[in-house]
Amino acid sequence: MKAAVIHRYGSPEVLQYEDVEQPQVKSHQLLVKIHATSVNPIDWKTRQGALKLITGNKFPKILGFDISGEVMAVGANVTRFSPGDAVYGSTIFPGGSYAEFAAVPEKIVALKPTNLTHEEAATIPLAGLTALQALRDQGNIQSGQTVLINGASGGVGIFAVQIAKALGTEVTGVCSTKNLDVVKSLGADRVIDYTQEDFTEDTAQYDIIFDAVGKRSLSNCKRVLKPNGIYITTLPTPEVLVQSVLTAFLPGKKAKFLFEQPNTQDLIYLKELIEAGKIRTVIDRTYPLQELAAAHAYSASERAVGKIAIAVAS
């Protein structure tokens, strides 16, 4: 099969489109023919070597997490899927979706939303689950609360705005000038242009501040958090790690971080919201898998609005 492979860490040019061996399906896995995947910041950070303490120095590696495609074969112990099913989900760290086929555990995929194309569905899993698990599991989000999403026009932020709104909260989105209309269209009740205004200097206070781009800290945000408010980030810096431990044992404001956990139940939950018209994706650009290096470079520029989809040749 064809795949985008790295043989060393480095710039986008280390991604090579080449022939590799097709994966073999284990008893609990599905063999999925991938129609589309997407780019997440963790992909190019891994490619750069920023996570090599975790990913190690064994090559070649196939990166990428999100998948949308067709089940081609199932392992002996698989009970919920059959060949021909259209599914979406993600792979296990450190990836494997930048390829024509992937072997994925049954417990981390779900049937694809019926109203999305494969390219659209492939932009959902990692970013959508990150947003859902941050707000629901870390934030204990409740109807009637006030929620601020920093990075509201980014890959995670677009889903966080919509999920928070679907769960009955008052949502404030923070983004740049050019993305104000996009964030408003996702349902944000209020939008702050960070080039004109610093939300941490605002008079409003929030029950939850979700920093979907890892640009602020609890210290920055304390003034605009309510007395029992929760600050959540996707970037576990040393400061955040310390703050999360300290605030866990003290009353008042909390700091939390999230490592997304792929699972079927949450994918089904997102699927239901999508099919009900409560969540949609925003795709900035779509690249073929052969041009993955360009897609990585564009993602790393932090100019993308929403997600970058990758079409995998059939």
pLDDT tens, residue by residue, 167-225 = 999 999 999 999 999 999 999 999 999 999 999 999 999 999 999 998 888 889 999 99
Q: Could you tell me which residues come within 8 angstroms of residue 272 by beta carbon, excluding any fewer than 6 positions away?
A: none
What's the pTM?
0.95
CATH number at residue 103: 3.90.180.10
Clarify whether residues 138 and 195 are in a common domain. Answer: yes
Query: Mean of the per-residue pLDDT values for the chain?
Result: 95
pLDDT score recorded for residue 117: 97
pLDDT value of position 85? 98
**CA atoms of 132 and 113, how far apart (whole Å):** 17
Res 238 pLDDT > 90? no
Domain contains 274? no
Domain identity same for 221 and 180: yes
179 and 80 together in one domain: no
- What was the pLDDT predicted at 45? 95
Instruction: Give the domain extent around 229.
Output: 127-257
Give per-residue pLDDT as tens, 83-130: 999 999 989 888 999 999 999 999 999 999 999 999 999 999 999 999
Name the helix (H) or strand (E) containing 42.
helix 41-48
Evaluate whether 278 touches 166 at the Cβ level (below 8 Å): yes
- Provide the domain count of the chain: 2
Cα torsion through 4, 91, 239, 170, rounded to 10? 110
According to the model, what pLDDT value does residue 314 have? 59
Q: Classify residue 243: in a domain, yes or no.
A: yes
Contact 309, 123 (CB under 8 A): yes
> 138 with 236, same domain?
yes
Residue 181 domain-assigned (yes or no): yes
